Structure 1
């Protein structure tokens, strides 16, 4: 049985150009409201931003077969992408206008398998510490019964971004 999936995304340059126009939280809320396009990786994997507040963000995904590894469960790279996105955007949510971030590292632990039977999962990112040049965040992947599926920590480098 063959399966197929069609993916559409918007021009990522639109959001990239808008980063310097907003505080980090305003930027995320513009994406949440649909006024700025989400990252193309969100369309590729099928996840979306569901909540954004200062120091905390939530991404959601309903796992499908397209996320599977060859042994019949969601690939660790999908976990990693969700957790990296949540941790990084938690950092983004506390940045002032004119500042951006990039991940320096990501350390994660897989605790439970995820399959299509798991249902919707939430990647919850929170900031732990923010300095002038770096920030530390964590992210948890949880199922609908609030069981912890995976955990990650991420260090991020902070830097100025150009304003238009």
Structure 2
């Protein structure tokens, strides 16, 4: 018999609107505290924002077989999603109200196989450098013993949020 998994999410426009009217660190703290709904991707992949401070964001995931590729290990896209989220939110945590970011690139190095037996993993994102128009962040994916599982760097474009009509 096949396995199933059910999840639900809130309207992502709620998050987009909140992100546009708050400083990045405040937005992420509200998200982490549950005062804003989680993003749909977090529900889909089943990961969570655990820590946030200026220039740093930490996400966690407990890998399961629902994350597997056809060869019986966690798909690299799941690694990349966690690393992209950690690096991007590290950048977001440094942005003032009225500024936003988008990822320009993500370079990922996969170092170890992950399975459900790996146990919980954490993606730790930190800002390496930030300027007026771009920021560079890195993220490390580690297991409970702090063994490095994957590493990523991300370049982000910084831009002003368009003014709200209303």
| Shorter-chain TM-score range | over 0.9
Question: Normalized against structure 1, the TM-score is what?
Answer: 0.98
Return the alpha-carbon distance in structure 2 between the equivalents of residues 40 and 46 of structure 1: 9
Return the alpha-carbon distance in structure 2 between the equivalents of residues 56 and 28 of structure 1: 11
Return the alpha-carbon distance in structure 2 between the equivalents of residues 163 and 64 of structure 1: 42
Kept after mapping to 2: 8 A contact 1:91/1:137: yes
Secondary structure at the counterpart of residue 157 of structure 2 = strand
Secondary structure at the counterpart of residue 151 of structure 1 = strand
Question: Normalized against structure 2, the TM-score is what?
Answer: 0.97
Matched, 1:77 2:77: yes
Return the alpha-carbon distance in structure 1 between the equivalents of residues 91 and 163 of structure 2: 19
Root-mean-square deviation over aligned CA pairs: 0.8
Return the alpha-carbon distance in structure 2 between the equivalents of residues 109 and 130 of structure 1: 22
Matched, 1:14 2:8: no
Return the alpha-carbon distance in structure 2 between the equivalents of residues 150 and 163 of structure 1: 38
Matched, 1:60 2:60: yes
Return the alpha-carbon distance in structure 2 between the equivalents of residues 160 and 30 of structure 1: 21
Return the alpha-carbon distance in structure 2 between the equivalents of residues 150 and 112 of structure 1: 7
1:7 CA drift (Å) = 1.2
Superposed counterparts of 1:18-37, under 5 Å: 18-37=18-37
Q: Which 5+ residue runs of structure 1 have no aligned equivalent?
A: none
Kept after mapping to 2: 8 A contact 1:135/1:155: yes
1:163 CA drift (Å) = 5.1
Superposed counterparts of 1:28-47, under 5 Å: 28-47=28-47
Superposed counterparts of 1:1-164, under 5 Å: 1-162=1-162, 164=164
Deviation string, structure 1 residues 73-117 (Cα, Å, up to 9, x no partner): 000000000000000000000001100000000001000010000
Return the alpha-carbon distance in structure 1 between the equivalents of residues 21 and 162 of structure 2: 9
Secondary structure at the counterpart of residue 122 of structure 2 = strand
